[in-house]
Structure 1
Amino acid sequence: MRWVSAPPTGIKQVLKEALKTKTGMAAVIILGMMVAMSLSIPIYSPADFVKKWNDLKAWYENPSLAAPVWVKWFTGADLPETIDLKASRFRVDEEEVSGHHITTYTAYFRYSYDDYPSELKAFIKADIGEKPVRLNVMFVRADGEEITLFNGLLSSNELTLDLSLDPKLQKSLARFLYEKTGAIPEVIRPEIVLFSKSLSQRTENAASDVLKGRYMVKFQLISDRKISAEPRFIIYGKVFGLAGTDLYRRDLWLGIIWGAPVALAFGTVAAVATALLQVVIGAAGAWFGPKWDELVQRLADFLLIIPVLPILILISVIYRVTIWSLLGWVILFSIVGVSSKIARSITFQIREEQYIEAARTYGASKTRMLFYYVIPRIMPFTFALVALSVPTYIFLEAALSFLGLGDPELPTWGRILGDAYSAGALYQGYWWWVILPAFMIMLVSLGFTLLSYAFDKIVNPRLREE
């Protein structure tokens, strides 16, 4: 005959026993990683990150739709990373010719990657006053060829040149290509022409055609007075950070680590709050008599059959929800459920035990016996359900955010997936925009599922080891 040890009844004892199992330890490792990611937020993200995430102009320093930097390990090619030539990288030379002040800002950089940049941008800030000044921007290739990127008037204190999309630069490069090759391609991409050995527009043999070496960028201001400026030139790469970037240049790694505490907090608070409410209401119904029990059971039957997700979608459409108001609605629709039925059945067994009769003999009130003797005995049996329901609430929040009906401010995994779907990320080949946040949702769900199994293995006699 096989004897099975009795399940532990104390909350601390259940937790201690569950964490000794293999599944419990695996769950702790996974969830510990999520907590560590959450704690790293003050280190990796700025204080006003939520505001910055929603300000699409704040990410101009990053490349658009760049893959994670570790992709280079699998492709075997040294894909380009962003080269940012800030004002401190420029050497300043001043001269005066025929009453005109000429200020030249010169910066050098070495390009040794196996692919072309994704785009080019030039920036300049200068206190020009009310009178425009002449601005020349020159680019010197590694083979010594000098190409004028911009030649015109600077009429404001700030100027941004999107060189990859500048039609004037494309016409200038068309003349340059005609002089060198005798042909003009249908599509001219400046970021390829400036870094190509053969001056070809083909990208399939980029590794052998990229012109590697030392390049130079010059900003030249010509005016009748001395002017100080802050030039900047960005050669955008094709890989960035641990998780890449999205269409709006946002660092997806920051969005992913910010989504971790949101998912953990939403799922855990919702699961624990609903479990406590369901246990108290279910136990109270069975404890205080048939009328209360009947009311609780009919309410549970009603809430178990109503379609919660469509109702939440309707609420999100009508009202502007935040993560906390959404959490409140979720808890409201879950005040009774499976845990209340479990609490009811266990309460019927507990109220006939001897220590309950002893408490009655000593004059303990029904409310005191419920909260001091009944509910603490029930809680360990609901741990597995609590852990298993956390992924359900995480998926619920992700689904609403994916549909654009979640918190419009917070960067969550569901919102990242929704943006990726709207941009056709998988169809366009931007797999990291979809796979990484989806993987995080699956990973945290796996952690809580393993934890649920560990709890169930402890409190369920049929699953307990000898």
Structure 2
Amino acid sequence: MKRKPSPKLTISLAIIGLYLLGALLAPHFVDKEGIDNWYNGNYWIRNPRLAPPEWVNLFGSKKPPSRILKPTKEEGRLHVFEYDFHYSRTPQDIKIIFNKTKFERISITLTTPGGESYVLYNSPIIEELSFRASVKKLIEIGRDKGMDVTETDVLFGDALKPLFFKNESGRIVPDEGKYRITIVSSAKPQVFVVGKVYGLMGTDVKRRDLWVGFLWGLRETMILVILTSLLATFLGTLLGVSGGLSGAAGVFSDAVSKISAITPLLPVMIALVPVEGKVGPNGILQMPMGLFILILGFLLSGKISRNVKVMVETEIKKEYIESSVSLGGDRLWILRNHILKVVIPYGIYQLTLLVPRVVALISLLGFFRATPGFNWGTLMASVVIENPRVTIYWWEVLPITLALGIFALAFVLINRDMEDRMSSKNI
């Protein structure tokens, strides 16, 4: 009677399938331009800094998301935009970009839901401006509303609070409603609201969209982990089988597997960076991925090959093998009909043990930027190492840590399922 897949096996295969599907679809959901500019601060300048994911608003927060405003009216030099503000916090900033190359006097007026109008800019501007950069005007507006606003509040606190809050009987509360931004300019402006929440995974201290790094890093992490684990298992099984047989091939394979087993892995992989790697113009390590996988796979194959060799030597000494030899069975026939039936299940078992280890190694090497391309280790390194603050925010590390742990758990569950099946066969 054929045994049905256990819940452990079903869950683990579903997890692996989802990760592989995500890796396959990543290029369709993420623009590689974001990865090419991962270390280019100017590329991300319009994103909020250290913003949590937008879905935190589902748990009671009322923080404004980032968005691009569309004009509600355009007549000649007149451009009107509306912003519906209904949040408990102000945006980090509002940026206005002009598509022009020469100075021109530009007027920008903000009208509140109550009808008060404030001229924020009336001066020559060439390309871009920021609401929070108008420090004196923000202080003036705040005091006009009866708010105690200092230069420190504007520079290091909620800079736009004087615009979006009001004094209501001594209480400073959000002034919710539709705000109108009126721009007088011959150049067509773009208005960016830099919010306090952003996207599916938030941003880091360099304003980078962590979802871009996460999804693209998933793709390259899966490539490295799966190919390295398969290669290490294949080489370990091959060297172990041939090393357990007599003859020159056995001696050579045994010597190679010993070298693999005793070579220190981390120093060799880190030393590979200055030998074969170079940093590209985008700041990402460029190294032949095939070479990286080949060397790491070889170094990880040593322990597997030593164990397989012992299994082969043990099997060869068993009576049924000796009987097969006496009846004329050659080495290839014995290998195919007896040895591989024992070795292949063991190889699969070792693969399920090896994948979690490779996940940890790739992440560790990526943290030291000793892996080719851009993977989850690279992402964690850029988030943690480049943060000048001591504080690391939960959305910067928790999703990656959970994703790595769940993927490793899937193979642990497969491993446990195999052990259960082996135990039931032996009873």
TM-score above 0.5, yes or no: yes
Residue 360 to residue 240, structure 1, CA distance change in 2 (3 Å): farther
Q: Does 1:212 align with 2:170?
A: no
Residue 303 to residue 358, structure 1, CA distance change in 2 (3 Å): closer
Question: For 2:244, what is the secondary structure of its paired residue?
Answer: helix
Q: Kindly provide the amino acid, as one letter, of the partner of residue 164 in structure 2.
A: F
Residue 237 to residue 180, structure 1, CA distance change in 2 (3 Å): closer
Q: Is the 8 A contact 1:83 1:234 kept in 2?
A: yes
Q: Does 1:198 align with 2:198?
A: no
Q: Does 1:452 align with 2:426?
A: no
Of 251-260 and 353-362, deviating more is 353-362
Equivalent residue for 2:117? 146
Question: For 2:164, what is the secondary structure of its paired residue?
Answer: coil
Counterparts of 2:317 and 2:204 in 1: how far apart (Å)?
A: 58
Q: Deviations over 1:231-279 (max 9, x none)?
A: 1111222222222122233322232222323222222211211111111
TM-score (norm 1): 0.78
Residue 358 to residue 298, structure 1, CA distance change in 2 (3 Å): closer
Equivalent residue for 2:78? 104
Which residues in structure 2 correspond to 1:132-211 (within 5 Å)? 132-155=103-126, 159-164=127-132, 166=133, 169-181=134-146, 185-189=150-154, 190-198=159-167, 209-211=173-175
Q: Does 1:272 align with 2:230?
A: yes
TM-superposed CA distance for 1:359, in Å, is: 7.5
Instruction: Say what the alpha-carbon RMSD is for the aligned residues.
Output: 3.3
TM-score (norm 2): 0.85
Residue 347 to residue 162, structure 1, CA distance change in 2 (3 Å): farther
Q: Deviations over 1:163-203 (max 9, x none)?
A: 32x2xx1022233344454865141423222111139xxxx
Residue 139 to residue 454, structure 1, CA distance change in 2 (3 Å): same
TM-superposed CA distance for 1:35, in Å, is: 2.2
Question: For 1:235, what is the secondary structure of its paired residue?
Answer: strand
Of 40-49 and 169-178, deviating more is 40-49
Q: Is the 8 A contact 2:111 2:179 kept in 1?
A: yes
Equivalent residue for 1:379? 344
Counterparts of 2:268 and 2:366 in 1: how far apart (Å)?
A: 15
Q: Is the 8 A contact 1:116 1:192 kept in 2?
A: yes
Q: Kindly provide the amino acid, as one letter, of the partner of residue 192 in structure 1.
A: K
Equivalent residue for 1:202? none
Identity value in percent: 21
Residue 347 to residue 268, structure 1, CA distance change in 2 (3 Å): farther
Counterparts of 1:374 and 1:465 in 2: how far apart (Å)?
A: 19
Q: Deviations over 1:377-426 (max 9, x none)?
A: 4111221111110111111111011122222x42x211121122114488
Residue 253 to residue 344, structure 1, CA distance change in 2 (3 Å): same
Counterparts of 1:45 and 1:170 in 2: how far apart (Å)?
A: 37
Q: Does 1:113 align with 2:87?
A: yes
Q: Kindly provide the amino acid, as one letter, of the partner of residue 419 in structure 1.
A: S
Q: Deviations over 1:89-123 (max 9, x none)?
A: 241123xxxxxxxx111111211112111222111
Q: Is the 8 A contact 1:416 1:433 kept in 2?
A: no
Equivalent residue for 1:44? 29
Q: Kindly provide the amino acid, as one letter, of the partner of residue 73 in structure 2.
A: R
Q: Structure 1 unaligned segments of length 5 or more: list them.
A: 1-12, 95-102, 200-204, 222-226
Q: Is the 8 A contact 2:67 2:194 kept in 1?
A: yes
Equivalent residue for 2:282? none
Q: Is the 8 A contact 1:384 1:455 kept in 2?
A: yes
User: Which residue among 406, 424, 440 is the counterpart of 2:371?
Assistant: 406
Relative CO higher for 1 or 2, CA cutoff 8 Å, sep ≥ 6?
Answer: 1
Counterparts of 1:257 and 1:184 in 2: how far apart (Å)?
A: 42
Which residues in structure 2 correspond to 1:51-90 (within 5 Å)? 51-53=36-38, 55-74=40-59, 76-86=60-70, 89-90=71-72
Residue 22 to residue 179, structure 1, CA distance change in 2 (3 Å): closer
Q: Structure 2 unaligned segments of length 5 or more: list them.
A: 278-286
Q: Kindly provide the amino acid, as one letter, of the partner of residue 142 in structure 1.
A: P
Residue 304 to residue 196, structure 1, CA distance change in 2 (3 Å): same
Residue 250 to residue 35, structure 1, CA distance change in 2 (3 Å): same
Of 382-391 and 245-254, deviating more is 245-254
Question: For 2:184, what is the secondary structure of its paired residue?
Answer: strand
Equivalent residue for 1:93? 75
Counterparts of 1:50 and 1:385 in 2: how far apart (Å)?
A: 34
Q: Deviations over 1:302-335 (max 9, x none)?
A: 5334321122122224441354332122023234
Q: Is the 8 A contact 1:296 1:336 kept in 2?
A: no
TM-superposed CA distance for 1:368, in Å, is: 6.2
Q: Is the 8 A contact 1:104 1:219 kept in 2?
A: yes
User: Which residue among 270, 275, 282 is the counterpart of 1:313?
Assistant: 270
Q: Is the 8 A contact 2:135 2:151 kept in 1?
A: no
Q: Is the 8 A contact 1:283 1:340 kept in 2?
A: no
Equivalent residue for 2:315? 349
Counterparts of 2:80 and 2:222 in 1: how far apart (Å)?
A: 50
Residue 127 to residue 185, structure 1, CA distance change in 2 (3 Å): closer
- Structure number with greater Rg is 1
Counterparts of 1:234 and 1:322 in 2: how far apart (Å)?
A: 40
Residue 337 to residue 162, structure 1, CA distance change in 2 (3 Å): same
Q: Is the 8 A contact 1:68 1:243 kept in 2?
A: yes
TM-superposed CA distance for 1:215, in Å, is: 0.3
Q: Deviations over 1:421-440 (max 9, x none)?
A: 11448843521101111111
TM-superposed CA distance for 1:362, in Å, is: 5.8
Residue 389 to residue 68, structure 1, CA distance change in 2 (3 Å): same
TM-superposed CA distance for 1:150, in Å, is: 2.3
TM-superposed CA distance for 1:49, in Å, is: 5.2
Residue 24 to residue 353, structure 1, CA distance change in 2 (3 Å): farther
Residue 285 to residue 183, structure 1, CA distance change in 2 (3 Å): closer
Residue 176 to residue 197, structure 1, CA distance change in 2 (3 Å): closer
